[in-house]
Amino acid sequence: MDSAEAPPVDIVNFEALALGFASCGILSLRFRNELNSVRQRIVSGSVACGLIFTDALAFTRLPNTSFWSLNSYDFSRLFLRRQHLVLALLLPTLSTAVSWLAPLITGLALVCASLTAAPPNPPRSSYFWLLSGTNGVQGGPTLCKVPLNCLDFMDELRYVCDLTRLRNIVIAPLVEEIIFRGCILFHLQRRFDSCGALCLGSGLLFSVSHFHHVVEKVYSGLAVREALLDVLSQVLMTAMFGVYSTLLVLRSGHLAAAVGVHSLCNAMGMPDIASEMQLAEIRDPQWGRRMSNQPTYESVSIQLKAYLNANSPSATEKALKDLLNNAIYVDFAAHLLRCLQTAIFKTSFDEIDVRVFFNRVLRLLQCLLPLNMAIEFMGEKPPAKSEQAKRMRMPTLRHTLTNTWAKLLEKGLPDDLLLEALIALGDGQIEKMTDTARLLSPYITTVFDPPTAMATAAAPLASWSRAVSRTLLKIIHLGGLNFDRLYPRLYALLGEDLLTCRYAERFLEDLDVYLSSIHVPAGWLSAFAKRLVQLGLVGVAPLSLMLPLLTVAANCLIRHPACRVLIDRRANQNDPVRRNMLLVTFITLIFPYESTETEDAVGDPYNYRPNDLAGDGAEVLKSSLWEVACLECHYHPEVSSLARRIRQIGAITAGVVDHLPEVKNQVRSGKKLQAEVGRTARQYISVLEMTNARLPSLPPLEGWMMPSDPSKAST
């Protein structure tokens, strides 16, 4: 049949050919790299290629010739020629290989090094597929050993040349180029005359045939939308390669040019610039970062302003991510701290949202200069004895960080933001700084132990003091601060408002560390233990604080044997005052009454006076922890069990150390107990409401004094 007499072929037929070839790749829903799936796709693709090639070859048969003779067909119309075949195969392939020149040279160098003496951990390029085992466009990289000699190299070559690699490097390029650049391009030439139209048409059909990967992604568990987005990049890449491959075939007239380039691209994969930069950095750190700009004060200031002035959460997160990615380098961090100090100094709170500015600055400060920060430079390392090198030393940077925090605290923040900053300092920030006692302690000690004149109704000073106790503790330990009013102030914070303070758990954890010191007098420690156990008998004491309160008191007795006089005191059984002290004092604490005269607790020489730790320390040694005996009758078994363990401290066999859970663990346990009791109480109340039952009115117990009738109180 002559080509001039052949009927025109519609473009729909081209799409049908492309989709038909694509369907051959998904005859089964196995994963594409499974061995059975690879075999099936090789067979189905080869059969489809043979059928399509036979169909196209029928249009090239010369008139009045035999159907079975190869000389009857004009193979040149399908771009199959023998003239200049070697040049057509080598020139396009070598020209395309320039894109992978660097990794190819690296791979060849590795081969030469492996044939002589391989280093223990030689660098490798992710592009050299014979060594690294990459599948190029068809798959991801897998590592393999570098051969030590020629025999090992041949074994390695035999290992990586499996059936999957044969499909990716040989079968797939040959089949796809015969169908799309040989057969389909032959039919497209009958409809389009220009080179641009032929390249775009062939590239479009080539990309459409790769949409079958969506079915594989959906079968692997992705949603349809996610699968489409995941495959879209591959489809665009194949479209561009289809245009390039068609141009090579049209200009060279040889299908072998497209086959060679296709095999090379499948073997090498997409250029991975990041991996090559990392490889260069392993060899020479300066070459590895040659593309990075030298950080300057002006360039860092621009990035910081973009973060502080961002108008949306997404822009804020992006700017912060850029800053933190660069802040791992010493030179960038040095400029960033200077820019941050300038921004804090120049910012006027009357013109901006103070809360937003504070949150962004605080978040950035918390991420700068971690303890394990490596000494690396983004740009060129400054000379050793220059002023710039002195500013970029790690001790200098940590001092600058402390000074930046001081600039923020002296800016005049609102009370709530100032307290938030001081709390953040105690949560892992003091460890990163130097000279904290001189630069930061004035702000912390003023909040922890404020002057009497600062006591106002709007400032809950006791609650604030408990909140910053951890920050003060770290400045004392790490900064060397000497604060003489520490323990009297801690004792004053043990009022009944501690039971309703939002920072009570945090304060009790810190108090346990404060009371572990061996330099505190035994009387003072006994007063702390006595007051903590006494708070457990207050009616408003929540269950969540019972375990931490008792644990801190018990740790005082365990760590300081001199305080155990509170639980080892022997009372005279014939003394009526001693015999009735427990009951009378318990009733007085549970049902307090107003009195016009200051009286001590009946039968107990200890009376809590917030501002007289020395006096209470002398009186408490004459008392005992009778409150522990009361707590042994607590309604919750966890509290009663802990109280019994406290009373047994020191009575165990000598040499056996008393062990109690840590205070932070007791805080978590207390919260769980509170949640369980609250849930149970709500269940019982809901049952009572559903049954419409009325609780009976109980008469008051005889002999008990009600707090509403203080006139009947007798001493």
Q: Which of 150-159, 179-188, 417-426 has the lowest mean pLDDT?
A: 150-159
The predicted pLDDT at position 351 comes to: 83
The answer to whether 586 and 630 have CB atoms below 8 angstroms apart is yes
Alpha carbon distance 92, 374 (integer Å):
47
How large is the average pLDDT for residues 54-64?
84
Cβ atoms of 465 and 497 within 8 Å: the answer is no
Nearest CA to 80 among 206, 258, 256, 260? 256
- Alpha-carbon distance 680 to 8, whole Å? 84
Give the best-scoring range by mean pLDDT among 32-46, 278-292, 403-417. Answer: 403-417
Given a contact cutoff of 8 angstroms between Cβ atoms, the answer to whether 210 and 235 are in contact is yes
Please answer whether residues 199 and 180 qualify as being in contact, where contact means their C-beta atoms are separated by less than 8 angstroms.
Answer: no
CB of 426 closer than 8 Å to CB of 468: yes
d(CA 180, CA 262): 12
Q: In this predicted structure, which of 271-280, 435-444, 624-633 has the lowest mean pLDDT?
A: 271-280
Residue 234 above 50 pLDDT?
yes
Q: What is the pLDDT of residue 157?
A: 56
Of the candidates 414, 435, 429, the residue with the CA atom closest to the CA atom of residue 365: 429
User: How far apart (Å, rounded) are the C-alpha atoms in residues 342 and 340?
Assistant: 5
- Find all residues with CB under 8 Å of 431, minimum gap 6, and list them: 371, 474, 478
| pLDDT at residue 151 tops 60 | no
Tokens representing residue 38 in the block: 């690879």
SS3 label, residue 670: helix
Q: Please give the distance of CA 38 from its chain centroid, rounded to a whole number.
A: 39
Instruction: Write out 165-223 in H/E/C secondary structure.
Output: HHHHHHHHHHHHHHHHHHHHHHHHCCCCCCHHHHHHHHHHHHHHHHHHHHHHHHHCCCC
Q: With bands split at pLDDT 50, 70 and 90, how would you rate the model's confidence at 134?
A: very low
pLDDT of residue 150: 57
Say how far apart CA 384 and CA 395 lie, in whole Å. 15
Enter the DSSP assignment of 9.
P
Q: What is the mean pLDDT of residues 38-52?
A: 83
- N- to C-terminal Cα distance for the chain? 129
User: With pLDDT > 90 as the criterion, what percentage of the chain qualifies?
Assistant: 33
- What number is the average pLDDT over the span 526-537? 94
Q: What residue type is 614 in one-letter code?
A: A
Q: How confident is the model at residue 714 (pLDDT cuts 50, 70, 90)?
A: very low
Take residue 281 and report the two structure tokens written for it.
Answer: 């950095």
Count of Cβ atoms closer than 10 Å to residue 513 Cβ = 16
> Can you give the pLDDT at residue 432?
93
Q: Is the pLDDT confidence value at 711 over 50? A: no
Query: What's the half-sphere exposure (Cβ side, CA atoms, 13 Å) at 211?
Result: 12
| DSSP symbol at 538 | S
- Specify the pLDDT at position 709: 47
Mean pLDDT for 518-536 is 94
Of 24-38, 143-157, 400-414, 479-493, least confident by mean pLDDT is 143-157
Gyration radius of the chain's alpha carbons = 41
**What DSSP string describes 439-463?**
HTHHHHHHHHS--GGG--TT--HHH
- 39 close to 228: Cβ distance less than 8 angstroms: no
Contact between residue 254 and residue 75 where contact means Cβ atoms under 8 Å apart: no
* Interval 477-499 mean pLDDT: 93
Nearest to 134 by CA among 104, 114, 113, 155: 104
Q: Is 298 exposed, middle or buried (0-12, 13-18, 19+ CB in 10 A)?
A: exposed
Note whether 541 and 578 are within 8 A (CB).
Answer: no
- Does the pLDDT of residue 712 top 50, yes or no? no
Render pLDDT for 412-454 as a digit per residue (tens, 0 to 9).
899 899 999 999 999 989 999 999 999 999 999 999 998 866 5
**Band of pLDDT at residue 682, cut at 50, 70 and 90:** confident
Question: Which uninterrupted H or E stretch holds 520?
Answer: none
Among 548, 407, 409, 527, CA closest to 466:
548
Specify the higher pLDDT residue, 659 or 332: 332
According to the model, what pLDDT value does residue 425 have? 94
> 131-134 — which CB contacts under 8 Å span 24+ positions?
131/107, 131/156, 133/160, 134/267, 134/268, 134/269
Q: Quickly state the pLDDT bin for 657 (edges 50, 70, 90).
A: very low
Q: What are 141's two structure tokens?
A: 């990289």
The average confidence (pLDDT) of the chain is 79
Q: Outline where 468-562 has alpha helix (H).
A: 469-479, 486-492, 504-514, 522-535, 543-559
Tokens of 568: 């080892």
pLDDT category of residue 398 using cuts at 50, 70 and 90: very high
* Residue 295 predicted with pLDDT over 70: yes
Most confident of 22-31, 94-103, 191-200, 449-458: 191-200
The C-alpha atoms of residue 91 and residue 616 are separated, in whole angstroms, by 97
Query: Which of 9-13, 39-43, 306-310 bottoms out in mean pLDDT, i.e. has the lowest?
Result: 9-13
pLDDT at 320: 93
Which pTM was predicted?
0.56
Give the per-residue pLDDT at 213: 79
**Confidence bin at 402 (pLDDT 50/70/90):** very high
H helix runs in 289-329, sequence order = 297-308, 313-326
Place of tokens 């559903």: 690
Top pLDDT among 441 and 693 is at: 441
Sign, CA dihedral 287-290-295-301, equals: negative
Q: Specify the higher pLDDT residue, 310 or 72.
A: 310
How does residue 140 score in pLDDT terms, banded at 50, 70 and 90? very low
673 C-beta neighbours (distance < 10 Å), count: 19
The pLDDT of residue 156: 55
Calculate what percentage of the chain has a pLDDT beyond 70: 74
Helices (H) and strands (E) in the chain, counts: 36, 0
Closest of 83, 125, 382 to residue 255, by C-alpha: 83
Confidence (pLDDT) at 655: 43
Distance from C-alpha of 516 to C-alpha of 352, rounded to nearest angstrom: 46
- For residues 374 and 216, the model is more confident at 374
Look at residue 59 in the predicted model and tell me its pLDDT: 85
Pick from 200-204, 503-507, 671-675, 686-690 the range whose average pLDDT is largest. Answer: 503-507
Bridge partner residues of 73 (DSSP): 61
pLDDT recorded at residue 146: 43
What digits encode the pLDDT tens for the residues 569-595?
Answer: 654 444 444 444 444 444 444 444 444
List of residues 6+ apart from 71 with CB closer than 8 A? 65
- What DSSP letter does each residue of 540-589 carry, written as one string? T--HHHHHHHHHHHHHHHHH-GGGGHHHHPPP-TT-HHHHHHHHHHHHHH
> Which of 528, 428, 433 lies closest to 487 in space, CA to CA?
528
